[in-house]
Each structure stands twice: as C-alpha cells, then as structure tokens.
C-alpha cells in the first residue's frame, strides 16, 4: 500500500479499533454489534419457532428434551460504513490546518478500514467535490492519501449538502468557519436517521494565539473582512474566538454529534485515540486523570 | 553657496524635520496578513498607530527630506560663493574743477580701491575707470562734480563686484563742494545700504583776479565807493555791477551774460537809531552789526517763500543773507547765464561804516560769483550727515537689490522635482 508520508502515522494507529457508538443496522458481517440477532456460535437466547423460520435453526436437542421447538438466537455483528467529509476551503489552508485534516482523515480511515468497515471520502473544495465511495477493499487508504494530497485549498464550500451522501458514520473534518449552522442541522438529521456523526473542529495555534505584530487581519474567504489586529484588539479577539468555539461545541454536542476540537500542533495519533474512544470511556479516563 | 533669504531655507529645514517626526509617529495601515478568524477581531479604524525609534520607509523619508531641503534652498535665493577679498571697495573719485590736486586725489583713489575694487570718476558724468586710466594725467576740466550721478554709478559697480565678497565699502574722494549736491543726491544716497567713507581732498579756489565792481549810483558821494577798492582781488574772474537805483532793462540785459552779477542794492532810508544784525552766507560768512534799515520792498518775498506744489524749485531765489531774526536780507535770482542779487540792507549814508572790515567782508560775500564762490564746501556736520556711519554695505543686500542669478535656484528646483517624482513612485509602489 503506497501511503507515502503517512506510513509512520499508520504504524502508530495500527491495532486501534473504532467501535460504533450504538448498535448498527444489520448488514454484512463485521466488527460492530448489530441491532439484529443472527446465527453466530455465541448463544444469546431462545425464541419459540414461528412459521416461516428456517428449520435448520431449530435447537434439536432442546426439542428432544422438551418436545417444543425453539430457535437458537445469537448476537449479530455488522460492518459500519464510514464517510469522511473533508473541508478544503481557503480557510483550511491556513497554517497547519490542512495537513492535520489530511493526516486525521488517513489515520481514522485506516482505523475504520482495519475493522473491515467500508470507508469513503468526500473532499469539498471550491472547484468540485471529489468523492470516493465507501469501499472495504485493500488500497482504499492509499487512494485516500492520493486524493487528499492532490487537493488545493481555496474558495468557499458548503458542507451541509454533502452529509446526505454520507454512509452511516459521517465524519466531518472542518474549521466550522463556513456553513456551521446548516452543517449542524444536517448532522442532526443524519443522527435521527440512525447514523453516527462526528465533527472534528480543526483550529490552528496561530488562530488561538496570533503573533504579536500589528497586522491587518484579512479573511481569505471574504476580502471585505479586513480588521487591524493590534495590541488593543488582540485580547478582545481571543475572548470572542473562545466564546464562539465554546458555543459551537455546546450546540453540536447538544444535537448528539461527537464533537472534538483538534489543534494543528497536537500529535495526530493521540487525536485519533481520543476520537475513537467512546464518550463514556473518555469521561472515565478523564475522571481517573 | 550662501543664501540671500535664509529664512526660506530655515522653513525647508523645519519641513524636513517635520517629515522625520511624522515618519516616527505616523499612523499608517499595518501590513495585510491572512487570518481565517478575522471576523472575530473587533471592528475599528483600519489605520493603526505605528511608532518606532527608527523612521519607517526610510527611502521615502529620504526623498521627502531631500525635496524639502532643495525647495527651501531654491526659495532662499542662493548665490554661489567665489574666492576673493571679503571686503571690496568702490571709490567715487571727484575729478571736477572743485578738486585742487586731481593727481593726488587719483592716487588716493587707487590706494583705497585695492584689489578687486572699482573706481568711478565723476564730474558732470560718472564713468568707471581702470587703474591705469586713473593714474594717467587728465586734462583739467571745468565741469562741476555731480554727486548723485556718481552715487548711482557707484551702486551699479558695487552690485557688480559684490558677488563673492562679504561686504562692499563706498569711499568718496572729494572735497564735497556745495555744488556737488543737487536734488537727486538725497535719493541716491538713500539707495546705498551702508555708510560712506569720506576722504576729503583740498578744494580748488579761484585765483583769478577780478576787476573792481562797477558802481552805478545816483549819489554824488556814495559811501560804497571807498569800500570797493578794499575787496579781495582774488575773488574770481566775474564781473559785478552794483546798482543803487531801480535796475533798468539795460542792466538786466547785461546781467544775462555768463560770469556777470548784477547787485541791486538801493540807497537806504533813514538809518534807525538802534543797531541791527545781518549775516551773509558766502564762502566766508560775514556778520554786520550796525544801525541798518530793512528795505522790505527790495526782496521778493514770494520768490523766497517755500515752494508750493507745482512750482519749479529752480525758479526760487537763493537766500544769501538773513537778518538776525531770520528775515531774508538778500537773495539771488538766476537770469539766464548770469544772476541778479537784491540786497535789502539800508546802509547809512553818513559815518564810516563802509570803511570798516565787517562791511567789507559783508560786501565781499554779496559780490561772489553766481551760485556762490567756487570751492565752497559743505560743513563737517553736513558731510557727516551725508556719509552716515562708516560701516560697509552687506554684499547680500546689494545682490538682493540687483538682479540675482536664478540659475542655481533653477537647478535646485529641478532636483526637488526629481525628488518629488521619486517620492510619488515609491509611494505608489508601496500602496500597490
């Protein structure tokens, strides 16, 4: 698998599993617990035979002992299709945000792919949205890497319409500076339809703590926004940005979206482990710390 | 290079300093930088104060400072400095007939002119002479010297030699005869922006022997007759006729000739009991105190009154004698080439007054040539009033009063325009 500069990262996340946050709909056998019961060797319960059941699933020994026909049931496991929607707007090209987004998509894709889940990719850029449909075959991660490396950030994009084309598990990697409200609505709808939604909010260290020089800060997606960032306005900027990030996290979490803020100076493998850890386990870990 | 208007250059320096201060304290637009979260920066004026201990945009500042200094220098009326003595002399050399020894005066003028100086010789005209021309023997001239023409010519020469010097000193080598002063002298003197160094040389005096004045009197025993032989014979070569009656047309016709003086001195009335005093302003002033009668009808008071506007000063009579209370006692009127004198002093017919020296001196002043005796010079106080202090005139004032060379200013202005063009180009490139 030709993954170029991502080899070390993939080695670091090898063995990491990304369980579904809740039972998945039935489907192809996979690693995630399904909402259905199947014929797996592990015993779960008996159910009286009903007309139409497959006679081969009758527990013949129990029938011999009790002269009553029961069907032997076992927990079912299925795969969980995962689609990564990566924001490639102009704002994502700032500092190390795009590099972090690429590495997160590749690493999480590899983690999901390791569980035999089909993984797909949608790269939303101003020119067009490049799509890789969810697949479980080998080499899909290398295809991820090539597609992301070939993409240049620029312009403005709307991510919300892309959520409808996502698989059950939708992972959006964005800085949320575009259509954040519409995206939240789309992800909320996706959750209501039985899907699983993750939002990886990418921020740059230079956005959290801008350099001390006096500059005329210009929005790359809106040239009309040009404001002097000087000593007098820097504290107010930090306060406003912090408040906005807090509000975004609160709103997404309130809608059931797994929200994670990721900074471009953090280690990607640690971010991956944080993302794949279930919320309850993460809360316990944080409580232990 | 020096400046005739240094305040203008000072203004340019102030403007340059202001530009430096503005570059240290300028509020300007900070450089643009991409920040995706710029929407969270509070809105404020897009120009922020940028203060620094080092000036910003140093090339731009240099062009502005250069332009300010060049404009200030151009408007400060620059004149190029040339090597030479710091003080130069313009010598006005009197070569008129009033100078007793013109060769000595010429030597004095050459010595005073020094290196780089100019000598302006004058009599009725003024012209610049080289040192060799001044030293060469000059044929004697009979023309009087006109100081106003010399002052104007001297001012012109001073402006010519002022370039490259700190100051110019004006030296007048002359006896300062009274006739050298005319109506334009005061104005020409006021045009000279400094003092005048006066070198007074001896004045020439008439040595010709004049015939005795003729006496036309109705009296058989006129007391003037014994006084006439007592007059100084070296008083000049002019003819004098003393008429003791009303002058006739023949007398007037006689007086119109050059070198003739008609003295109308009527016989006086009865002499008063008390003495009176009268003073004649001749080459040698004479005062006569005696029981004299004032003959008011003789002197034309209208002719001696101050000139009214529109009247010609040349027509006014010259007062040659006054009573002790300031009243006019004798006047002189020009009559073509000659002149007529009216004397309103009644001399007693009896007594020996006319035989006494004061009367002879008074008579001597009355019979002087028309316009006064030649060689009469102004008093020392009048000379001091004419010369003023001894300071030299500033060369800057002289050049400023004349036509200055604008070439250097034009070059400076051209340089300033180039600096401004460079400033404009740099500003456009910076704002682009």
What string of pLDDT tens digits covers the 432 residues of chain B?
777 788 889 999 999 999 888 888 766 677 888 999 999 999 877 665 666 677 777 888 899 999 999 999 988 877 766 555 578 889 998 888 778 788 888 888 888 888 778 899 888 788 888 877 877 756 655 566 788 889 999 988 888 887 767 788 889 998 888 778 888 888 888 888 888 988 888 887 666 667 788 889 988 888 888 888 888 776 666 788 999 988 899 999 998 887 888 999 988 767 777 888 998 887 777 899 998 888 877 666 545 555 444 444 445 677 888 898 888 899 888 888 888 999 999 888 888 888 899 999 999 888 888 776 666 677 888 888 888 887 888 777 776 655 556 788 888 999 999 999 999 998 888 776
For A191-218, what is the mean pLDDT?
90
Q: Which residues in chain A have Cβ-Cβ distances shorter than 8 Å to B46?
A: 216, 226-228
> Which tens digit of pLDDT belongs to each residue from A112-127?
999 888 999 999 988 8
B221: its two tokens: 């025993």
Q: Which of B 22-41 lie inside 8 A of A, CB atoms? A: 29-41
**In this prediction, what percent of chain A has a pLDDT beyond 90?**
56
Give this complex's ipTM: 0.83
- Asked if B431 reaches chain A (Cβ–Cβ under 8 Å), the answer is no
Residue from A176, A216, A242 whose CB has the most chain B CBs within 10 Å, to mutate: A216
- Residue located via tokens 């120009």: B47
Which pLDDT score is estimated for B308?
47
With an 8 Å Cβ cutoff, the interface of chain A facing chain B consists of: 90-91, 94, 175, 177, 204, 206-207, 210, 213-222, 225-230, 232-233, 236-237, 240-241, 244
| CB-CB under 8 Å, B46 with A217 | no
Inter-CA distances, B10 with A132, A151, B1, B62, B193, Å? 76, 63, 15, 18, 25
Which pLDDT score is estimated for A89?
94
Which pLDDT score is estimated for B302?
47
> Which tens digit of pLDDT belongs to each residue from A7-64?
899 999 998 888 887 777 766 666 667 666 666 666 777 889 988 888 888 889 889 9
CA–CA separation, A6 and B351 (whole Å):
152
CA-based torsion, B94, B97, B98, B102: positive or negative: positive
**In this prediction, what percent of chain A has a pLDDT beyond 70?**
88
Is the per-residue pLDDT at A73 higher than 70? yes
pTM (two decimals): 0.46
Which pLDDT score is estimated for B284?
75
Q: Which residues in chain B have Cβ-Cβ distances shorter than 8 Å to A218?
A: 32-35, 38
- Asked if B432 reaches chain A (Cβ–Cβ under 8 Å), the answer is no
Which pLDDT score is estimated for A9?
92
- Residue located via tokens 């073509």: B336
- Taking the alpha carbons at both ends of chain B, their separation in whole angstroms is 40
CA nearest neighbour of B36 among A224, A70, A235, A218: A218
| CB-CB under 8 Å, A240 with B42 | yes
């Amino acid at each position: 698998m030709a993954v170029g500069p991502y080899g070390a990262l993939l080695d670091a996340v090898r063995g990491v599993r990304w369980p579904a946050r809740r039972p998945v709909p039935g489907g192809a056998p996979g690693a995630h617990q399904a909402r259905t019961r199947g014929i797996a060797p592990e015993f779960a319960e008996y159910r009286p035979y009903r007309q139409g059941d497959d006679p081969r699933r009758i527990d013949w020994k129990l029938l011999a002992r009790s002269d009553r026909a029961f069907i032997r049931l076992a927990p079912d496991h299925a795969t969980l299709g995962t689609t990564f929607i990566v924001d490639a707007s102009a704002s994502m090209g700032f500092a190390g945000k795009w590099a972090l987004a690429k590495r997160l998509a590749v690493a999480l894709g590899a983690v999901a792919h390791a569980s035999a889940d089909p993984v797909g990719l949608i790269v939303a850029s101003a020119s067009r949205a490049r799509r890789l449909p969810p697949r479980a075959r080998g080499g899909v991660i290398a295809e991820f890497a090539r597609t992301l490396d070939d993409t240049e950030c620029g312009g403005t994009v709307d991510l919300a319409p892309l959520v409808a084309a996502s698989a059950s598990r939708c992972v959006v990697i964005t800085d949320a500076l575009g259509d954040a409200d519409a995206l939240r609505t789309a992800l909320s709808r996706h959750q209501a339809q039985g899907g699983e939604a993750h939002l990886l909010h990418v921020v740059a260290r230079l956005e959290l703590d801008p350099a001390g020089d006096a500059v005329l800060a210009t929005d790359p997606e809106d040239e009309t926004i040009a404001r002097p960032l000087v000593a007098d306005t820097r504290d107010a900027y930090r306060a406003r940005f912090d408040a906005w990030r807090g509000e975004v996290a609160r709103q997404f979490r309130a809608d059931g979206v797994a929200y994670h803020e990721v900074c471009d100076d953090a280690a990607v493998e640690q971010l991956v482990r944080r993302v794949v850890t279930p919320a309850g386990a993460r809360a316990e870990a944080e409580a232990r710390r | 290079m020096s400046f005739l208007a240094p305040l203008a250059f000072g203004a340019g320096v102030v403007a340059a300093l202001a530009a430096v201060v503005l570059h240290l304290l300028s509020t300007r637009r900070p450089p643009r930088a991409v920040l995706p979260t710029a929407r969270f920066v509070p809105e404020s004026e897009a120009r922020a104060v940028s203060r620094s201990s080092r000036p910003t945009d140093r090339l731009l500042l240099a062009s502005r400072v250069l332009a300010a200094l060049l404009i200030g220098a151009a408007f400060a009326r620059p004149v190029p400095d040339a090597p030479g003595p710091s003080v130069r002399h313009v010598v006005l050399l009197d070569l008129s007939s009033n100078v007793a020894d013109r060769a000595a005066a010429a030597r004095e003028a050459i010595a005073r002119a020094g290196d780089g100086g100019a000598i302006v010789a004058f009599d009725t005209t003024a012209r610049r002479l080289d040192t060799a021309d001044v030293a060469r023997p000059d044929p004697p001239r009979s023309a009087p010297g006109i100081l106003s023409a010399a002052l104007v010519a001297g001012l012109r020469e001073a402006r010519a030699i002022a370039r490259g010097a700190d100051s110019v000193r004006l030296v007048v080598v002359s006896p300062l005869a009274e006739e050298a002063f005319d109506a334009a002298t005061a104005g020409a003197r006021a045009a000279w922006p400094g003092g005048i160094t006066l070198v007074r040389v001896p004045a020439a005096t008439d040595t010709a022997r004049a015939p005795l004045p003729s006496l036309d009197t109705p009296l058989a025993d006129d007391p003037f007759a014994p006084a006439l032989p007592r007059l100084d014979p070296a008083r000049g070569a002019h003819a004098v006729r003393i008429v003791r009656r009303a002058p006739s047309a023949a007398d007037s016709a006689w007086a119109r000739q050059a070198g003739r003086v008609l003295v109308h001195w009527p016989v006086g009335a009865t002499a008063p009991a008390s003495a009176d005093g009268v003073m004649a302003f001749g080459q040698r002033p004479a005062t006569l105190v005696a029981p004299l009668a004032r003959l008011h009808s003789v002197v034309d008071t209208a002719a001696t009154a101050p000139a009214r506007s529109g009247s010609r000063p040349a027509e006014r009579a010259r007062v040659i004698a006054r009573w002790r209370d300031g009243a006019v006692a004798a006047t002189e009127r020009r009559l073509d080439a000659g002149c007529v004198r009216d004397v309103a002093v009644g001399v007693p017919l009896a007594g020996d007054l006319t035989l006494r020296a004061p009367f002879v001196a008074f008579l001597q002043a009355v019979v002087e040539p028309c316009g006064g005796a030649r060689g009469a010079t102004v008093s020392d106080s009048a000379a001091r009033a004419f010369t003023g202090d001894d300071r030299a005139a500033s060369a800057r004032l002289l050049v400023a009063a004349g036509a200055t060379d604008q070439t250097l200013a034009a070059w400076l202005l051209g340089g300033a325009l180039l600096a401004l063009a460079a400033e404009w180009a740099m500003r456009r490139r910076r704002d682009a």
